[in-house]
Amino acid sequence: MERPEHYESDLLFFFDGRPEALALYRALAERVEAAFPGAAVKVQKSQISFYGEGLFAMASLPRRKRDPGLVVSFGLGRREPSPRVGVAVEPYPGRWTHHVTVTRADELDDELLGWLREAWDFCAAKRRGQGRP
C-alpha cells in the first residue's frame, strides 16, 4: 500500500492517547493492504483515507473521546441494511455513506471487507463514468 513519507509519525499523532484504537487501525490497514495492494493511504486531520481510483474508505475515531474503537466508513451505490451499520446517509442520489463502529479485531471480518470491496468497485465505476457497477 502506498504511504506518504510521514505516515508513521502522522499515525502516532492521530491516535495519541488511544492505543486500542491504533491497534485496531493497524489490523484494519493490514487487511486493506492484503485485499487492495494497489491502494494508497493518507492520514488527515479527522480521518485516515484509503484510495484506489478515488476515495473508497475511511477510518476515524468516535466523536466522544471516551467511546472505544474505530469508525470505518465507506461509500456504496445502495443502502446496506445490516445492523452493524450504525449510520447510513445519502449525501447525493445513488451514493450512500455507511459508518460501522469496530471495537474488536474480530469485527474486521469478511463481511466488512466485502463492503470495502464493493466500495472499491463502486468508486472505480464512478470514476470511469459507469455509475453503478
Cα 26 from Cα 102, distance rounded (Å): 13
Question: What's the burial of 46, exposed, middle or buried (CB within 10 Å: 0-12/13-18/19+)?
Answer: exposed
Q: Which sequence spans correspond to the domains of the chain?
A: 7-127
Closest by CA position to 97, among listed 77, 112, 81: 77
Cα 65 from Cα 97, distance rounded (Å): 22
The verdict on pTM exceeding 0.95 is no
The one-character DSSP state at 7 is H
* In contact, 84 and 111? CB cutoff 8 Å: yes
The pLDDT profile of the chain, 133 residues, written as one tens digit per residue, is: 999 999 999 999 999 999 999 999 999 999 999 999 999 999 999 999 999 999 999 999 998 888 899 999 999 999 999 999 999 999 989 999 999 999 999 999 999 999 999 999 999 987 777 654 4
